[in-house]
Chains A and B, each alone.
Chain A
């Protein structure tokens, strides 16, 4: 108990991995401490979709067209159900607010004092958060999808399913780094909730959460040959809701699919770097201004 300077454990292999695993386990346990709240929150998520279904049923009964922007009534239902799945991956409730709060109340200090990386820690705990969510939500999701199975086109081929899964994983990472970066703004502004609100609004419109983005392809931008949908494709938002759903429904295929996956991957990298820079500069500012 005297000499700690030659701690051999500091050079143990996979130490970083083990730390990461422990952060995941602890976060899992913490999430499970609030399982009641969690179950309720999961079930509430199904409510908005019911109103969407009523709305689109009314829209289709008012028009004689069999489809809108390539979506039949069945496609629309399938689309909304699928965006629910993608949102389950890409939405990060409480992430930005939590980061900003930890800056405001000073608990972020812990990550400056302890040999632990805040961003990795947040990622581990968010993965844990999501895993608990999927465990709780699996049954209701399965039930709804089973009841609505006749709205869906036949199950796509393996390559499409693989692309769908890849897009989902990327959408999780994109959502995480986007909102973590927003939260890091808490180093500059005391309160980020209005910034997050503005982001949510834009994201709701441009992610395809509100309506399939194919409907934007008819809207011009003033530049000939460039529709609003073409612009949105280069933004990160559609990858957090529309894109995976569109893959499953066969709306994005071939070269376009590959290109979109690459764009999504690039956005993940860009936001991961932005998040890192924000953390780095934020802590520098924090330590210069007082902590």
Chain B
């Protein structure tokens, strides 16, 4: 049923458009992964007896996840450390096999690792992945050309295009080990995109990068993704990545999907209040401000209040009436804060359940 979108001999543009509207590129059902971990007790005696008998237990990393992703979607996977994001990407790229459940990516079961499947996706995970450490990136690219069986003309066109977009042409002939983190990441991305994958998995691509490099990557990724109608799954801790790139956000905590939808809807669904900043002509008193909402901070003539979303329409006129206001701004709670509280509340409920 998932084979209709690709592996046929004479696919045309129309058939792929057909596939885009009908078959999901990625379909995941009840996907679960448990890791066996060995307890390593403290102390020398325990270490020695551990040589003969080890106690192990199963730790669930992913607990039965369902997800479908269509062609051309750009999806962010958010979640605290250890939530199962990377496990999820490893399962979808076929590095690990699941304990339970099924997955289909591009019509293939990823962990069967068929060459036809592997030629059509790419995974960028960490900094030292595909490039040869001691050689210039241009050499690694030439190897990719052969591994992925890319025609010469097509290879050169794609390479030049990617290299120019990221402005890394002058780095191509330097040994990769001499490059900076940001430069290496850019070249890793070029290497991953040379074979024009239909599906791209990115595991924290902007980690450790400065603001300029992050921005460059955002522009690059969104451009390539739109132009190629590539399907991208990205894990990240930076809300900036998400805001710049992804239409869809999937929040994973403790191996479960907690939220799946647009970024704006997260704000709608998980926030109860707005942040109102007031610039007054006098120093307000704490009590006076408490009439309007919860005063987060009062510094000189400036006050920052948290006001319930349902009350905001009533409270604002009241403020303007009773105070001399020089300036006023109403904002949503910063996304980072929402997501952080989302992670926290989930962790607390888990702790209560005794999991």
Asked if B48 is at the interface (CB within 8 A of a chain A CB), the reply is no
CA separation between A19 and B149, bound complex, in Å? 8
Judge whether B120 and A5 touch: CB under 8 Å.
yes
CB distance from A139 to the nearest CB of B (A): 25
Chain B, residues 1-44, CB within 8 Å of chain A (1/0): the string is 00000110111110010000000000000000001100000000
Asked if A288 is at the interface (CB within 8 A of a chain B CB), the reply is yes
When C-beta atoms are compared, the residue in chain B nearest to A112 turns out to be: B95
Judge whether A2 and B229 touch: CB under 8 Å.
yes
Q: Which of A3, A23, A34, A288 contacts B143 (CB 8 A)?
A: A23
Asked if A15 is at the interface (CB within 8 A of a chain B CB), the reply is yes
**Residues from chain A with Cβ under 8 Å of B146 in the complex:** 15, 18-19, 21-23
Asked if B262 is at the interface (CB within 8 A of a chain A CB), the reply is no
Judge whether A5 and B198 touch: CB under 8 Å.
yes
Could you tell me how many residues of chain B have their Cβ less than 8 Å away from some Cβ of chain A?
A: 54
With A9-B149, A10-B149 in contact, do A287 and B11 touch (Cβ < 8 Å)?
A: no
**Residues from chain B with Cβ under 8 Å of A287 in the complex:** 94-97, 111
Judge whether A30 and B148 touch: CB under 8 Å.
no
Asked if B102 is at the interface (CB within 8 A of a chain A CB), the reply is no
**Residues from chain A with Cβ under 8 Å of B96 in the complex:** 286-288, 290-291
Interface with B: A113-121, A146-154, A243-251, which one? A113-121
CB distance from B174 to the nearest CB of A (A): 12
CB distance from B126 to the nearest CB of A (A): 8
Asked if B93 is at the interface (CB within 8 A of a chain A CB), the reply is yes
What are 28 A-B pairs at a CB distance below 8 A?
A1-B227, A1-B228, A3-B16, A4-B197, A5-B6, A5-B16, A5-B120, A6-B10, A9-B154, A10-B119, A15-B149, A18-B146, A22-B142, A22-B143, A22-B146, A23-B143, A26-B139, A26-B143, A33-B134, A107-B128, A112-B94, A112-B95, A113-B93, A113-B118, A114-B118, A287-B96, A289-B35, A289-B36
Interface residues of A (CB under 8 A from B): 1-10, 12, 15, 18-19, 21-23, 26, 29-30, 33-34, 107, 109-110, 112-116, 284, 286-291
Interface residues of B (CB under 8 A from A): 6-7, 9-13, 16, 35-36, 90, 93-97, 111, 113, 115-116, 118-120, 122-123, 125, 128-130, 132, 134-135, 139-140, 142-143, 145-151, 154, 158, 161, 175, 195-198, 227-229
